[in-house]
A and B are shown apart, each in its own frame.
Chain A
Amino acid sequence: MSTAASAKPKFHAYRVGEFVERNGLPLFCAVLTVGAALFAPGFRSPNNLQNVLTNAAPLGVVVLGQCLVILVRGFDLSVASVMATAAVIATSFDETTDWSVIPILGVSLLMAFVVGSVNGYLVTQRKVSPFLATLAVMIVLQGIRFAWTKGAPSGRVPELIRVIGSQAIYAVPINLMLLVSLATIVGIMLHRTAFGRKIYMVGGNPRAAELVGISVNWITFSCYVLSSVLAALGGLVLVGYVGSVDNWVGRGYELNSIIATVMGGVSLRGGRGTVFGALVGAFVLTEIFNIALLLGFPVQFQWVVKGVVILLAVAVYLAAHRSR
């Protein structure tokens, strides 16, 4: 592999690879935005820009949690089901008063805590693969939700949730502010506390983490609980935007959140990546969907875009990683 002749290009490639891995996505985001502003009619309009941000916020909240789980070498496929369940909970209380937000929040978080605990228990104690554990939990939760709503959920959400999910103050969407505050909290937790450091260690090398006395199971378990809790919040934000509820609120968010996280440079092998990167991933993904619509492609085209984007992102990171 390594010969004397390759020494010089390797040094050069090291920098390119490192640069792409660190700054590729924000750069791509900038190019995409400028390109869209130049070529896609309607992208520049303040309305549309606000729309993109409002759309990105619920995904961003879910991505925060997905990012934590992927950092510890897992996946959480149950996020969409948690979102829909939180949305159903949001319509199950008195919609005429904003005070219902308190029980809604309480019950949603409790539900999310239970779901995350089951995920975490299965993954850490029963050593079930994260994929299968969260998939099975997703199906069970889906069954419970359908049985509870008898297949046809109805009702409306309190006005406060509507406002948070869809209104803006001085053109800044409220749900975006919520996302930024949550991201700040998660970011500080991840990058400035011992707990966050431990998450990276567990993801980077679980055996070594175990040997230096970190409780790998506890850290992993916490990440699954946090992911579910953030997914529930994301579901509440989303249902506030959508306004009405059906059984599939948040459908596709499990895949979208994984795509955004991976695009944002969080390695599926665990232990690498930042919250900021993952959030940029969420914005880029939303932006791509928006541009595809503005260019007149049918909505179904989003599926194709999604698939191509994830394959490209993975390929670029592979190339960048190899050249290091």
Chain B
Amino acid sequence: MMSDGEAKRSQPEALFWLLRRRTETAIVMEIALIALLFIVGFLVSDDFRTIDNVVNIIEQSTGLAFVALGQTVVILSGGIDLSLDATIALTSSLLSGAVNGRADLAAPMIAAVLAIGLTIGLVNGTLILLLRVHPLIVTLAVAAIVQGSVLLYTLMPIGGMPDGFDQFAFGRVFNIPIGAGVAVLCFAGVAFVLGYTRLGRQIFAFGGEPDAARLVGIPVSRVVLFVYGLSGLLASLTGIYLVSRLGIGNPTGDTNFNLASITPVVLGGTPLTGGRGGVLGTLLGVFLVQTLNNVLNFLDVSTFYQWMIQGLIVIVAVSIFVEKRRRAA
């Protein structure tokens, strides 16, 4: 499409310069916005400045953090995963429905739903490789099948978890919420893979220039299977986290994670075209979005306007970054 831009990007130095500049800008902006939101929060409400509320924001961020991490890696590889809502619906309702309060079933079922999430991701990856159509279509189709299966399994939230399972969401180790700790560890692990392993390099290369990547012999199928598998696995983690937080699974798939997972990625400076960006921006993006929602709650802004604001933020963020890229190229 942009031949001169591609020529520039083929030079590694230029690529990394652009990458660093772009993500750094986004991260600085995110930190500034978070700071701004905290100032606003401090001004408008006494309740905002409690430790409890900050912990609350972190807990609300955790569920989103897992899927957003998976979405980031998929988007870095130039794809998109829209089967997240369905995967979360399946894993969460299957977990609470099958365990149904029996403590001895909890561990095997957690392992089972993690495997199911991974499998859904791998199916996505396989179909994308086989059919060679836009990942959007494949993941939506898989999502429809998965969502239908969940609703055939149950129309209402069913079952429940044994006592103590809510520790994943509400427990603390040295005052750090366990779920959030796990999420940060996942981010660190993925950041390591992206930054310091061959596979990470291959994901960036495939996302930036799929045809060139194929020509220089990058194992495309391995990359695609890895990113969608990881995304499915992380979506099932979100499902487990939600069950832990809410006590029961939600089969309707109304969780809106498909768009919600894209917002922090875009805010974090990872363009939907892939090949550039990183997970730190996404982590801050998740925190930024939830802080915003929290402040808006304190301001008594209804959920409806919160949607609107979220959509507008995506539009603005995407538009700004496109402008930058065009100038740079």
Contacts and interface: CB of A to CB of B under 8 A. Distances in A.
Interface of A: 75, 122, 126-129, 131-133, 135-140, 142-144, 146-147, 151, 255, 258, 262, 268, 298, 300-308, 310-311, 314-315, 318
A129 B273 contact: yes
B311 A140 contact: yes
A126 B147 contact: no
B307 A258 contact: no
Interface in B314-329: 314-315, 318-319, 322-323, 326
B143 A307 contact: yes
Contacts of A308: 141, 145
Contacts of B326: 127
Given A143-B307, A147-B304, A314 B151 contact: no
Interface residues of B, number: 46
A302 B152 CA distance: 10
Given A300-B152, A307-B143, A314-B133, 20 more contacts: A75-B136, A122-B315, A126-B319, A128-B315, A131-B136, A132-B266, A136-B311, A139-B307, A139-B308, A139-B310, A139-B314, A140-B315, A144-B308, A147-B308, A151-B304, A303-B145, A306-B141, A307-B144, A308-B141, A310-B141
A75 B308 CA distance: 21
B149 interface: yes
B137 interface: yes
Contacts of A151: 304
B307 A318 contact: no
Contacts, number: 127
Nearest to A131: B136
A221 B138 CA distance: 26
Contacts of A147: 302, 304-305, 308
B312 interface: yes
B137 A314 contact: yes
B310 A304 contact: no
Nearest to A77: B136
20 contacts: A75-B136, A122-B318, A129-B273, A136-B311, A137-B315, A139-B307, A139-B308, A143-B305, A143-B306, A143-B308, A300-B148, A301-B148, A303-B151, A306-B144, A306-B148, A307-B144, A311-B141, A311-B142, A314-B137, A315-B131
Interface string B290-311: 0000000000001111111111
Q: Which of A305, A311, A318 has the most CB of B within 10 A?
A: A311
Judged by DSSP, the binding face of A is: helix
Given A127-B326, A132-B266, A300-B155, A122 B319 contact: yes
A311 B143 contact: no
* 6 tightest A-B CB contacts, nearest first: A303-B148, A143-B308, A307-B145, A307-B144, A139-B311, A300-B151
A146 B305 CA distance: 8
A146 B307 CA distance: 10
B305 A126 contact: no
Contacts of A126: 318-319, 322-323
Given A126-B318, A127-B326, A314-B133, A303 B311 contact: no
Given A140-B308, A311-B127, A311-B138, A131 B315 contact: no
B183 interface: no
B259 interface: yes
A128 B144 contact: no
A300 B182 CA distance: 35
A302 B144 CA distance: 9
B35 to A, nearest CB: 25
A301 B151 CA distance: 8
A136 B80 CA distance: 15
A133 B148 contact: no
A128 B325 CA distance: 12
Contacts of B266: 132
B283 interface: no
Contacts of B137: 258, 262, 268, 310, 314
Given A140-B308, A318-B131, A135 B318 contact: no
Given A135-B259, A146-B304, A128 B311 contact: no
A127 B140 CA distance: 23
A311 B131 CA distance: 8
B198 interface: no
B152 A301 contact: yes
Contacts of B205: none
A318 B138 CA distance: 13
A142 B127 CA distance: 32
A255 B144 contact: yes
Contacts of A127: 322, 326
Nearest to B149: A304
Contacts of A137: 311, 315
